[in-house]
Amino acid sequence: MKKKRIVAKSVYTLADLKKGVEVDPPVRLGVFGDPVEHSFSPQMQNAALKQCKIDMQYARFHISPNELREAFDLIRKLDFVGVNLTIPHKISALELLDSVDDNVKRIGAVNVIKVESGKLHGFNTDGRGFSRAVREEFSVDLRDLRVMVLGAGGAARAIALQCAKENCERLVIANGTFEKGQRLADSLRNFFEGPKVLGPVPRLQAIPWEERAFQFQVANVDLVVNATPVGLNRGDPSPIPSRLLAPHVMVYDTIYAEKRTPFVSAAIEAGARAANGLSMLLHQGALAFEIWFRREAPLEVMRKAL
């Protein structure tokens, strides 16, 4: 007899995880966050699981910081394949894992966990997801771009490291807390010793969060990336106002809460090309699927589900 499919709840809690989350097909993947209600990952990953005929479900779990250790113990016991991590767990999870890859070590943040033989292994797919998103949105590779990254948190560090690894032409880090941006730039210095000749501007640089600094840099970069949460909340301004942008720049906003985020709107107003973070979400998710199942992700099905 054909089993009745029970769709997973919109959001589970630690208490549900303790009970084993009894639905059919079983939940063996998920995203841990606090808040987590906003996450688009279930629709994308469940579409991929269905397409690949993998008999399991992916669900949202509201897990607070003090519940994370117990939640990790439970996914070990419940035979989970893995989980994604979102705010506020990406950094604090590191010390609870059995191993992390080099990317995670350098970035200091983890967004994908694979469970294997009761051990938790950490990965970060944000940087490679970003790189694929930029290629898709603007038909250009990072190695050919002068990039300015706004922010120096987890997402910004993943993006900056990816730009460095792909030998981008130039990298500028702008952060509110200048010293943090400076530390990020210093950690990438060894990638920028090669001979790309660019005239008077340095290949790698941290700048203060100031209008004059933005104005100068916009004239000397091709791509501006927002990796801050500015734009997530209704009524937020654009991280850089339209009058400081220019038609030659491409703008990538990692925020995907709406199609036209404040930064995307400012870019369009300035005559620039712009994209929101949905494509990065798609590609980091596809890369996570590939880590979990060691097979190619059904990208078009995932895209459609988003």
Catalytic residues: 90
Q: Does 299 bind ligand NAP (CB under 6 A)?
A: no
CB 126, min distance to ligand NAP, A: 5
CB 156, min distance to ligand NAP, A: 6
Which residue, 75 or 184, has its beta carbon nearer to ligand NAP?
A: 184
Residues 152-211 interacting with ligand NAP (rule: CB under 6 A): 152-156, 175-177, 180
Q: What is the DSSP letter of 188?
A: T
Site string for ligand NAP, 120-139 (x = CB under 6 A): ------x-------------
| Interstrand relation of 112-116 and 82-85 (parallel, antiparallel or unpaired) | antiparallel
Q: Does 232 bind ligand NAP (CB under 6 A)?
A: yes
CB 98, min distance to ligand NAP, A: 23
Which residue, 20 or 176, has its beta carbon nearer to ligand NAP?
A: 176
Q: Which residues pair with 148 in a beta bridge?
A: 172, 224
Which residue, 16 or 30, has its beta carbon nearer to ligand NAP?
A: 30
Q: Does 84 bind ligand NAP (CB under 6 A)?
A: no
How far, in Å, CA of 283 to CA of 43, rounded? 14
Size of the site for ligand NAP (CB under 6 A): 24
**Residues constituting the chain:** 306
Question: Using CB atoms, what's the residue nearest to ligand NAP?
Answer: 153
Which residue, 21 or 86, has its beta carbon nearer to ligand NAP?
A: 86
CB 10, min distance to ligand NAP, A: 20
Which residue, 63 or 280, has its beta carbon nearer to ligand NAP?
A: 280
Per DSSP, helices labelled H in 95-204 are 102-107, 126-138, 154-165, 178-187
Q: Where are the beta strands (DSSP E) in the chain?
A: 12-13, 27-33, 57-62, 82-85, 99-100, 112-116, 119-123, 146-150, 170-175, 204-208, 223-226, 250-253, 273-275
Largest CA distance in the chain: 73
What is the rounded end-to-end Cα distance, in angstroms, of the chain? 33
Q: Does 230 bind ligand NAP (CB under 6 A)?
A: yes
Give the CA distances from residue 265 to residues 9, 43, 92, 242, in Å, rounded to whole numbers and listed in that order. Answer: 35, 27, 34, 8
Given 284, 286, 292, 305, the residue binding ligand NAP (CB under 6 A): 284
Give the CA distances from residue 39 to residues 5, 30, 155, 190, in Å, rounded to whole numbers and listed in that order. Answer: 22, 10, 16, 36
Q: Which residues bind ligand NAP (CB under 6 A)?
A: 90, 126, 151-156, 175-177, 180, 227-230, 232, 254-256, 277, 280-281, 284
